[in-house]
Amino acid sequence: MPRRRKKTADSPNTVWLVTLSDLMTLLLTFFVVLFSMSSMDASVIARITAHVNSASPMGLSGPGRLSERVQLVVAGLKNPRDILNNQKRVKDLLFPSEALPPDISSGELENNLALLAHPEGVVIVLTDSLLFPAASATLGNSGKKLLDQLTPVMHALNADINISGHTSLYPETATGKEATDNDALSYQRAAAVLEHFLQAKMSPVRFSVSGYGADKPLFPHDTPDAQTKNRRVEILVKTTPRLGGYL
Average pLDDT per block of 10 residues along the chain, 247 residues long: 54 61 73 57 40 38 66 81 79 91 93 90 94 93 95 90 94 68 94 96 94 94 90 93 50
Residue 191 is given by DSSP the state H
pLDDT for 100: 93
For residues 112-136, one letter each, b for 16 or more C-beta atoms within 10 angstroms of the residue's C-beta and e for the rest, the string is bbbbbebebbbbbbbbbbbbbeebb
Question: Which residues make Cβ contacts (< 8 Å) with residue 12, sequence separation at least 6?
Answer: none
pLDDT for 11: 54
Q: Give the Cα separation of 4 and 6 in Å (integer).
A: 6
Estimate to the nearest angstrom the gap between the alpha carbon of 145 and the chain centroid.
Answer: 16
pTM of the model: 0.70
Give one word for 121, left, alpha or beta, with left for phi > 0 and alpha for psi -120 to 50. left
Q: Give the Cα separation of 188 and 209 in Å (integer).
A: 9
pLDDT for 221: 85
Estimate to the nearest angstrom the gap between the alpha carbon of 58 and the chain centroid.
Answer: 10
pLDDT for 74: 84
